[in-house]
Amino acid sequence: MYIWNREIPSLTATEINNAVQNEGWQRYRRSMKGLATSNKLDCLNGYLGRREHDGICERVHYVRVANYINALLRGGQLVRTSSGRVQVQR
């Protein structure tokens, strides 16, 4: 996946802190280390997709993924285009 087609919600610092303090999420996040950015997007989309399919996707899951996407944007791996799309830069 080279374009992130999901919405990136606004997040509060408290919401982020509460969401990321989860050992399962931290293991999942660490498992993506070293992957190409496009593969990370596939993994993140799958993380949400599995939970949506099972009917267990909650705001906390979207917060985790959005925070990760925002980190990739800050790090320059993703960029926001003039049309507002988020896509892989490197």
pLDDT along the chain (90 residues), means of 10: 95 98 98 98 98 97 98 98 93
Q: What is the pLDDT of residue 10?
A: 96
Q: What is the pLDDT of residue 83?
A: 92
Nearest-5° angle of CA 14, CA 77, CA 30?
Answer: 60
The DSSP secondary structure of 33-61, one letter per residue, reads: TTS-HHHHHHHHHHHHHHHHHHT---HHH
Q: What is the pLDDT of residue 87?
A: 97
- Predicted TM-score (pTM) of the model is 0.95
Q: What is the pLDDT of residue 36?
A: 98
Q: What is the pLDDT of residue 90?
A: 84
Domain ranges, ordered by start, for the chain:
3-88
CA of 47: how far to CAs of 32, 40, 58, in Å? 12, 10, 12
